Chains A and B, each alone.
Chain A
Amino acid sequence: MGSLALPATALASSMLMIPEGPFIMGQGNQPPHGPERHLFLRTFLIDQSEVTHEEFQTQFPGHRFRKGAAQHPITKVTWYQAKEYCEKIGGRLPTEPEWEKAARGEHGFIYPWGDHRPKKRPHPFYSGVVKKNVGSNRQDVSAYGIHDMAGSVWEWTADSEGPSNIIRGGLWNLHLDFDYSKSYEKAAIPPGERLSFLGFRCVRSME
């Protein structure tokens, strides 16, 4: 794992480097998770954490958020807004393979930290999203040091499926025993939607 110091003007949030190499994408043989395949990606940089309200406000000064939520992941942004933000800071939205490699590591872990479920179960009933400061969950860290890829909020990717865009990630407070926090989990949402469980992070190619 490596980190790269970048000029503050180039990238608002801390990015980490995902080294060139193979990784396992997908799980099983059937959609939506399969087929499992071995892919190769060149080196790229990815935000260590999801984009926060405070970071988003640096590029969109009209953005407002409630007191105490500056370091919460921004949500209720369309895919177009997420894409624009990333481009403004010199990056782009991650492709699905980039997101999944950053979450699973080279060995195709089920969860960012490995294959075992956490001992502490998610809240069994709560129907909504519990937002905390990004990076505050010390277990939800991938082999590359990337935070919040199992929990926190779902994230837009650059890829699409029909008229919708692929989202990746999961929430901590689902009553589904982490089924939807697996690193190969995915869903699709129309790009114009603004949803309370959906944020994003950015990547940048290494030239």
Chain B
Amino acid sequence: MHVLAFCAAFVQSWWGWPGAARADTDYFSGTDFVGKTRAGKFKQFYINYWKPMRRIQAEDWALSIGGMCENPLTLTLEQFQPLPLRTQTSRMKCVECWSAKGQWSGFHFSELMKLCPPKPEATGVVFHCDDTYTEHLSLEDLNHHRTLMVTAMNGAPLSDEHGFPLRVIIPSKYGYKNPKAIVKIEYVSELQYGTWSKIGPYSPDGTILPGTDHPLDLGKTPHRISGGEITDY
């Protein structure tokens, strides 16, 4: 895609022109880039990215794990293959009021802790994503039995839109606590504010609160939710 055309797409997707459909317009299909969209099949599962970014190439990707850990290391995609996979179906709830369901496959965070043990003073992790998004999760939250380091969705490898090649799924927290396209994991000893919590009215905790949900797969009809993971539908 010509760089000027992409710049125009970026500006439109981010701020939109007056009257433009913004994310309802497909700016990224067929390009080297991925970003926020609600177009086409993504009407059933909205895609949010902090910034449009180049699609990650599997052969170029590596995950670095560092910060307050015993032996910082870098892992390639191939090195994830031996990790024991789990699959769960869970709903992702966004602070924008919508939710969508997926079948997620991946490994438990404890597998990474075995490869790169945190120092005793480490209490959490900052995930650094390829679109410069950052998000913090505590080790307690990461070791919850429903938290998954996801590499596949609905039986296929993660798509670029859903965070290829590695993302977090933590069903009890709003979508912004589910970072994707992760490139670096940094152990930290104190709570850190993620990208949205720094600039917006999003709590660093991010637990889903009691309220009303508008699930995309159920026609956005209002559903009462009790807070925490949505398991009723």
Q: A residues near B, CB below 8 A?
A: 32, 123, 125-129, 154, 164, 167, 170-171, 174, 176, 180, 187-189, 193, 195-198
Contact = CB atoms under 8 A, between A and B. Distances in A.
B197 to A, nearest CB: 9
A24 B202 CA distance: 37
A195 B228 contact: yes
A48 B209 CA distance: 24
Interface in B181-203: 200-203
Contacts of A196: 205, 207
Nearest to B191: A66
A84 B24 CA distance: 52
A198 B203 CA distance: 16
A76 to B, nearest CB: 9
Interface string B220-233: 00001111100000
27 contacts: A32-B224, A126-B201, A126-B202, A127-B95, A127-B201, A127-B202, A127-B203, A127-B206, A127-B209, A128-B202, A129-B207, A129-B209, A154-B227, A164-B226, A167-B227, A174-B209, A174-B210, A187-B210, A187-B224, A189-B228, A195-B172, A195-B207, A196-B207, A197-B207, A197-B209, A197-B210, A198-B227
Contacts of A170: 210
Contacts of B224: 32, 187
A176 B212 contact: yes
B174 interface: yes
Contacts of A128: 202-207, 209
A179 to B, nearest CB: 8
A125 B174 CA distance: 14
A176 B212 CA distance: 9
Interface of B: 95, 172, 174, 200-207, 209-212, 224-228
Nearest to A128: B203
A197 B211 CA distance: 12
Top 6 nearest A-B pairs by Cβ distance? A128-B203, A187-B226, A125-B201, A126-B201, A196-B207, A127-B202
B99 to A, nearest CB: 14
B221 to A, nearest CB: 16
Contacts of A127: 95, 174, 201-203, 206, 209
A204 B200 CA distance: 43
Contacts of B205: 128-129, 196
A159 to B, nearest CB: 14
A157 to B, nearest CB: 13
A154 B224 CA distance: 15
A174 B211 contact: yes
A129 B202 CA distance: 10
Contacts of A188: 226
Scoring B172, B211, B226 by chain A CB atoms within 10 A of each residue's CB, the highest score goes to: B226
Contacts of B206: 127-128
Contacts of A180: 210-211
B210 A154 contact: yes
A109 to B, nearest CB: 20
A195 B225 CA distance: 14
A189 to B, nearest CB: 5
Contacts of B204: 128
Contacts of B212: 176
A65 to B, nearest CB: 14
B27 to A, nearest CB: 27
A42 B131 CA distance: 60
A197 B227 contact: yes
Contacts of A164: 226
Contacts of B227: 154, 167, 187, 189, 195, 197-198
A184 B187 CA distance: 43
Contacts of B211: 174, 176, 180
B228 A193 contact: yes
A195 B210 CA distance: 11
Contact of B226 (A126, A171, A189): A189
Contact of A167 (B95, B172, B226): B226
Given A129-B207, A167-B226, A195-B227, 15 more contacts: A126-B203, A127-B174, A127-B201, A128-B203, A128-B204, A128-B207, A129-B203, A164-B226, A167-B210, A170-B210, A174-B211, A188-B226, A193-B228, A195-B172, A195-B228
